[in-house]
C-alpha cells in the first residue's frame, strides 16, 4: 500500500458539477478516484458499475470522476459534463484538461480506479477491471469504514442540474411517412411522434429496467439506435446490452438477444441469443433479413438472423484500432452507428473519427474516411485523404441521392460524404449543433437528435433552414 497523504488533486482542474473538493477533507470516507474518458464506452461501463454499487450500498462510498480528454471538444467544460451526464453520472466531476492529475497520480490507461481508504491510504488500483472483481475490491475497501453511514453521500446534490424538458439526451431516430420515432435515452423510453413533434405513444415506462411486455409494462435502459422495418421497430437497448423489438401494431416489446449483462458472445453462431451477453450495442440496421449491430463495447459488428434467430460475430478483432481487412482480421474503434444500402454496410467509428464500409458478401472492411488511428482527428472538408472528423456519433443515408450524412459530434456540425469517391463537406447551418447524436433522413429532410440540447431538429436540405421539432403531448 502507498500512502497518498502528500498527493492532492491539482488546482488547475475545473469542477464541472460540484464545489471544489480537496482529498484531505474526505478522510473518514472510502473514496474512488475514477480516471476516465467521457467518450469511451469502456469507461462508461466502469462508471455504471460504480453507480450500481453505490445504489446497493448507500452512504458507504465517495466517487470522484476525473475526466481526462482524448478529443479537443472534451476540453470544453459543458461538452465534457454533457457526455458524462448522458451516461447517468452524478458524482463530482473534475475536468483534467491539461492531464495534470493524470500525471500526478501516475495513471497510464483509461479507465483507472484508484481506491483510497478512510485513512487516506491508497489500497489498490484497478485498470480496466470491473464486474465481480470490482465488487469484491469495493467491499474490501469499505469493510473497515466506521458507522454511522454518511448521509451526505446518500443524497448528493449537483450544481446546475440539467433542465426538466420533454426529452433528455435523445439519440436514435427513425422516420417513416408521417411518423418520427425518438430514442429518449435519458428517460429510458421510445417515443412515437407525428413529424410535427406531437407524442402519440410511449414505449417503456420511463425508468431504467429490463422488462418485456405490453406498451404500459415494458422497460428499457438508455436505448439508442433504432431501425424500422415492416411495422417493427428494432432497438439497440444499450444500457441493457440487448436487442429489443417493438411490434408497432400491438405495442408489444420483446427481446431478441442479450441477457442484460455486458460481455462477449462466444465465437461462431449463437443458437440461444437470449442467453448471450452483448456489450453496449449502440445502433442497428436491417439488411439481408438480418439485424446488424454496432457493438461499441467490444469493437465488433454482429448480425442477428431473423430467419434462424441466431447471432454471429461478423467483423472486428475486438482491439480498439483502425485496421482494414476481411471479417475478424479487421478492427474498429468503438463502432456506434450503421447504415446499409444494397450489399454494403457503412459503419461510424466514434473513437476512430472514421467512416468504414463492410461488404455483406465476404465481410471486407475498408476505411472510407478518417485518419490513421484513434488520435488522428480534426475538422477539415475536401478529398477523403485529408478530410477529418472528430468523434462522430451517427450516420444516415439519403434515400434519393448517393449521400451519407454524418453527425460530427465533436465539431458540432452536420457533414455529408458523397459516395463513389466524392468529397466530405459541411452543411452551412445557421448555428453550431450541441453534441448531435442521432440522424434520420427522409426526402429533402435531415432529422437531427441534438443530444446535448435535449432536442430534435429538422434540416431542410434545399433551403438550408434549421427548425426545432417541438416534442410534446
Encode pLDDT of 385-408 as tens digits.
Answer: 999 999 999 999 999 889 999 999
Three cell numbers at 27?
478522510
Angle between helices 131-142 and 41-56 (to 10 degrees): 40
Residues 72 and 213 in one domain: no
Which of 127, 154, 181 is where one domain is finished?
154
121 falls within a domain? yes
Residues 283 and 246 in one domain: yes
Please give the residue range of the domain that contains residue 215: 173-469
**Contacts (Cβ under 8 Å, ≥6 apart) of 418:** 402, 403, 404, 425
Residues 287 and 355 in one domain: yes
Q: Nearest-CA neighbor of 186 among 455, 459, 461?
A: 455
Residues 89 and 182 in one domain: no
Encode pLDDT of 145-199 as tens digits.
Answer: 665 556 666 555 677 889 999 999 999 999 998 999 999 999 999 999 999 999 9
Residues 254 and 322 in one domain: yes
Tell me what pLDDT residue 147 has: 53
163 falls within a domain? no
How does the average pLDDT of the chain come out, rounded? 94
165 falls within a domain? no
Cβ distance 209 to 222 under 8 Å? Answer: no
How far CA 427 is from CA of 25, 83, 354, 401, 417, in Å, comes to: 50, 24, 18, 16, 11
Cβ distance 241 to 223 under 8 Å? Answer: no
Residues 19 and 102 in one domain: yes
pTM for the predicted model, two decimal places: 0.96
Distance CA 301, CA 294 (A): 5
Per cent of the chain over pLDDT 90 is 88
SS3 405: strand
- For the CA atoms of 302, 183, 226, 378, the dihedral, rounded to the nearest 10 degrees, stands at -70
SS3 456: strand
382, pLDDT greater than 90 = yes
Tell me what pLDDT residue 149 has: 59
Residues 180 and 104 in one domain: no
Distance CA 282, CA 286 (A): 14
Residues 425 and 320 in one domain: yes
Give 296-340 as a DSSP string: TTTTEEEEEETTT--EEEEE--SSSS-B-EEGGG-B-S-EEEEEE
Give 251-288 as a DSSP string: --EEEEE--SSB--PPSS-BS-GGG--B--EEEEEEET
Give the count of domains, the chain: 2
CATH code at position 347: 2.120.10.30
Give 202-241 as a DSSP string: EES-SS---B-BSTTT-B-SSEEEEEEETTEEEEEEGGGT
CATH code at position 33: 3.40.30.10
Encode pLDDT of 257-278 as tens digits.
Answer: 999 999 877 777 899 999 999 9
161 falls within a domain? no
Cβ distance 123 to 110 under 8 Å? Answer: no
Residues 29 and 60 in one domain: yes
Encode pLDDT of 281-306 as tens digits.
Answer: 999 999 999 999 999 999 999 999 99
Residues 254 and 359 in one domain: yes
Residues 98 and 185 in one domain: no
162 falls within a domain? no
- In three-state form (DSSP H/G/I as H, E/B as E, the rest C), the secondary structure along 34-59 is EEECCCCHHHHHHHHHHHHHHHHCCC
Cβ distance 193 to 173 under 8 Å? Answer: no
Length of the chain: 473
**Contacts (Cβ under 8 Å, ≥6 apart) of 100:** 10, 12, 13
Amino acid at each position: 500500500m502507498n500512502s497518498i497523504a502528500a498527493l492532492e488533486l491539482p488546482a488547475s482542474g475545473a469542477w464541472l458539477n460540484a464545489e471544489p473538493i480537496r482529498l484531505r477533507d474526505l478522510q473518514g470516507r472510502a473514496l474512488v478516484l475514477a480516471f476516465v474518458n467521457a467518450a469511451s464506452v469502456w469507461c462508461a461501463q466502469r462508471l455504471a458499475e460504480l453507480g450500481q454499487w453505490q445504489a446497493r450500498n448507500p452512504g458507504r462510498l465517495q466517487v470522484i470522476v476525473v475526466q481526462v480528454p482524448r478529443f479537443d471538444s472534451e476540453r470544453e467544460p459543458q461538452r465534457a459534463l454533457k457526455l458524462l451526464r448522458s451516461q447517468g453520472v452524478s458524482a463530482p466531476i473534475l475536468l483534467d484538461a491539461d492531464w495534470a492529475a493524470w500525471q500526478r497520480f501516475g495513471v497510464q490507461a483509461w479507465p483507472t480506479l484508484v481506491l483510497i481508504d478512510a485513512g487516506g491510504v491508497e489500497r489498490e488500483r484497478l485498470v480496466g477491471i470491473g464486474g465481480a472483481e470490482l465488487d469484491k475490491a469495493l467491499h474490501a475497501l469499505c469493510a473497515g469504514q466506521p458507522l454511522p453511514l454518511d448521509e451526505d453521500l446518500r443524497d448528493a446534490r449537483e450544481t446546475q442540474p440539467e433542465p426538466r424538458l420533454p426529452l433528455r439526451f435523445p439519440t436514435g431516430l427513425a422516420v417513416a411517412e408521417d411518423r418520427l420515432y425518438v430514442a429518449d435515452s435519458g428517460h429510458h423510453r421510445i417515443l412515437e411522434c407525428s413529424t410535427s413533434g406531437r407524442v402519440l405513444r410511449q414505449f417503456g415506462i420511463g425508468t431504467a429496467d429490463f422488462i418485456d411486455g405490453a406498451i404500459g409494462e415494458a422497460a428499457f435502459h438508455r436505448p439508442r439506435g433504432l431501425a424500422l422495418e415492416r411495422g417493427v421497430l428494432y432497438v439497440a437497448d444499450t444500457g441493457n446490452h440487448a436487442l429489443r423489438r417493438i411490434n408497432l401494431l400491438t405495442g408489444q416489446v420483446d427481446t431478441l438477444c442479450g441477457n442484460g449483462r455486458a460481455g462477449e458472445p462466444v465465437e461462431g453462431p449463437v443458437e440461444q441469443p437470449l442467453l448471450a451477453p452483448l456489450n453496449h450495442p449502440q445502433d442497428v440496421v436491417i439488411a439481408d433479413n438480418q439485424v446488424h449491430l454496432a457493438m461499441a463495447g467490444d469493437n465488433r459488428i454482429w448480425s442477428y438472423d431473423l430467419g434462424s434467430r441466431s447471432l454471429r460475430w461478423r467483423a472486428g478483432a475486438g482491439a480498439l484500432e483502425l485496421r482494414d481487412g476481411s471479417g475478424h482480421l479487421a478492427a474498429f474503434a468503438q463502432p456506434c452507428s450503421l447504415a446499409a444500402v444494397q450489399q454494403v454496410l457503412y459503419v461510424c467509428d466514434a473513437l476512430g473519427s472514421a467512416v468504414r464500409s463492410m461488404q455483406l458478401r465476404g465481410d471486407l472492411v475498408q476505411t472510407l474516411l478518417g485518419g490513421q488511428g484513434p488520435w488522428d482527428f480534426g475538422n477539415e472538408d475536401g478529398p477523403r485523404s485529408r478530410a477529418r472528423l472528430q468523434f462522430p456519433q451517427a450516420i444516415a443515408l439519403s434515400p434519393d441521392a448517393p449521400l451519407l450524412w454524418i453527425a460530427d459530434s465533436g465539431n458540432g456540425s452536420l457533414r455529408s460524404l458523397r459516395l463513389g469517391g466524392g468529397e466530405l463537406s459541411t452543411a452551412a447551418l445557421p448555428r453550431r449543433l450541441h453534441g448531435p447524436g442521432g440522424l434520420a433522413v427522409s426526402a429533402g429532410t435531415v432529422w437531427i437528435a441534438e443530444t446535448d440540447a435535449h432536442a430534435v431538429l429538422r434540416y431542410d436540405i434545399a433551403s438550408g433552414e434549421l427548425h426545432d421539432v417541438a416534442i410534446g403531448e
